[in-house]
Amino acid sequence: MAKNLFDDFSPVSAKLWKQKIQFELKGADYNETLIWNSPEDIKVKPFYDKEDFTKKNTVSTKATQFKICQNIFVYDLEKSIEKGLDSIHRGAESLRFTIPEENVNITKLLDKLPLENIPIYFHFTFLSIDFVKKIDAIAKEKKATIYCLLDPIGQLAKDGNWYKTQEKNNFETIEKLSIETNSLSIISINSSLYQNAGANMVQQIAYSMAHANEYFNRISTINHPIVFQISVGGNYFFEIAKLRAFRILFTLIAKEYNHNFDCHLLVTPTKRNKTIYDYNVNMLRTTTECMSAILGGADTIANLPYDALYHKDNEFGDRIARNQLLILKEESYFDKVDNPADGSYYIENLTNQLAEKALLLFKDIEANGGFLKQLNDGLIKRKIQESADSEQALFDSGKETLLGTNKYPNKNDKMKGELELFPFIKIKPRKTLITPIIEKRLAEKLEQVRLSEE
């Protein structure tokens, strides 16, 4: 029997480690020097050991099975079909189509695609029973895996208005679809909205769970997985823990409704920390964010092209974004181990703290009328805005840095002639039921000043 080499060393307790660190600090205060407080009010220590591993939550993450997704906006049908087939040929393992209007020929769009092994996601700018039923018939005929990302509450939160439908309300439409379709997942939660608007991680998790709980309460039949569309930011280990906490809390809540499906996580890098100046740094940001997504347990990842803020969809940006994921999967071996974060004292501790704090906030929301009530009252938007303002103040003061923007900016970098898209908040005056939650990047104000001075 092999000898355990570690038996030759006496165990070192956390107390002894801390004493050694305090000695090395030469009089500096341990707490003030080495412990920092996150926006979620989590005190992060300089080291973690088995004494911090007090509660093991079972999180099943299948990194070996994550899919690389290609986003396609269906403006020209023939070009969208061509792009879908080309993306699959170049390494995409799933496709997410954005459908802008009901007159798109969905049968023709899907006809040439290898639906038997390529999952398809549909994002709509409308809500139509007939259109979704066409997709359901195709899914049934071709035994395809298709997710229709229908989220009326997310539409209200982002746009300020519900979808216009023939039914009395959007929930009635979803209820009919849940009964009349059998081959589709139709319910989605747009968690990305909260992250891109500036919510901290506890808020993102709790609001997403309360958001999902509204569907559990209002839709009698949910026989397929619910898809969470999630954005991940640059706080590497926290983002890994965030995705794990999503699964823990969803399982806890879904069990109360006898919903036995795991949630499906469709993850993309955030836009909040992306910049138009020194735009190549965006590739570094999205790479680490995709790494967090894989290790945290994303089912599917759609990378964000480095130039997505200011360029229209283009072959080069899409190819680079897709290749980043291919390198992580095929050359960095990120798909070789399931549950890769298991046993990390730090990540396990963060996962537990995020889950516990989010559960407390979720319970508070439910005790005070539920998510929809607080959304209509403006409370959700106000809380997100407070968090966003705190982060913006850190960025404006230089305490939170974005390389190439508020740290080591390249003064010779000119962008005014490169802007094919408007990269800032778009104001669209209209009558709305509620004030919508607005997505905003940290660098917008600084970038507007620099553009005006070019």
The position carrying tokens 């894989």 is 294
Predicted local confidence at residue 50, as pLDDT: 86
DSSP state of 276: S
| Cα distance between residue 447 and residue 406, in whole Å | 10
pTM of the model: 0.95
Amino acid in the structure at residue 322: R
Taking each continuous run of H as one helix and of E as one strand, the counts in the chain are 16, 10
Q: How far apart are CA 92 and CA 72, in angstroms?
A: 12
**β 36-37/43-44 pair status:** antiparallel
Residue corresponding to tokens 């020194």: 278
Interatomic CA distance for residues 268 and 79, integer angstroms: 24
Nearest to 185 by CA among 230, 215, 205: 215
CA dihedral for 274, 275, 276, 280, sign (positive or negative): negative
Contact (CB, 8 A) for 49 and 345: yes
Give me the residues paired with residue 72 across strands.
97
Give the C-alpha separation, 29 to 24, whole Å. 11
CB under 8 Å to 140, separation ≥6 — which residues? Answer: 182, 183
Only one residue has tokens 């305090």, namely 22
- Angle among Cα 238, 241, 246 to the nearest 5 degrees reads 125
Instruction: Residue 362: name the closest of 222, 226, 207, 181 by CA.
Output: 207
How many degrees, rounded to 5, is the angle at CA 285 between CA 427 and CA 196? 30
- Segment (H or E) for 355: helix 345-367
Q: Are 121 and 147 in contact (CB under 8 A)?
A: yes
How many Cα atoms are found within 13 Å in the side-chain-facing hemisphere of 290? 29
Whether residue 92 contacts residue 323, with contact meaning beta carbons closer than 8 Å, is answered with no
Amino acid identity for residue 315 in this structure: E
Residues 6+ apart with CB under 8 A from 348: 52, 53, 56, 57, 341, 342
Measure the CA–CA gap between 288 and 326, rounded to whole angstroms: 14
What confidence score (pLDDT) does residue 379 get? 98
Q: What DSSP element (H or E) covers 184?
A: strand 184-190
* d(C-alpha 96, C-alpha 431), whole Å: 30
> In a structure prediction context, what are the per-residue pLDDT tens digits for the chain, which is 454 residues long?
566 766 777 888 889 989 999 999 998 999 999 999 999 999 999 999 988 887 777 788 899 999 999 999 999 999 999 999 999 999 999 999 999 999 999 999 999 999 999 999 999 999 999 999 999 999 999 999 999 999 999 999 999 999 999 999 999 999 999 999 999 999 999 999 999 999 999 999 999 999 999 999 999 999 999 999 999 999 999 999 999 999 999 999 999 999 999 999 999 999 999 999 999 999 999 999 999 999 999 999 999 999 999 999 999 999 999 999 999 999 999 999 999 999 899 999 999 999 999 999 999 999 999 999 999 999 999 999 999 999 999 999 999 999 999 999 999 999 999 999 999 998 888 899 999 999 999 999 999 999 999 9
Nearest of 151, 135, 166 to residue 230 by alpha carbon: 151
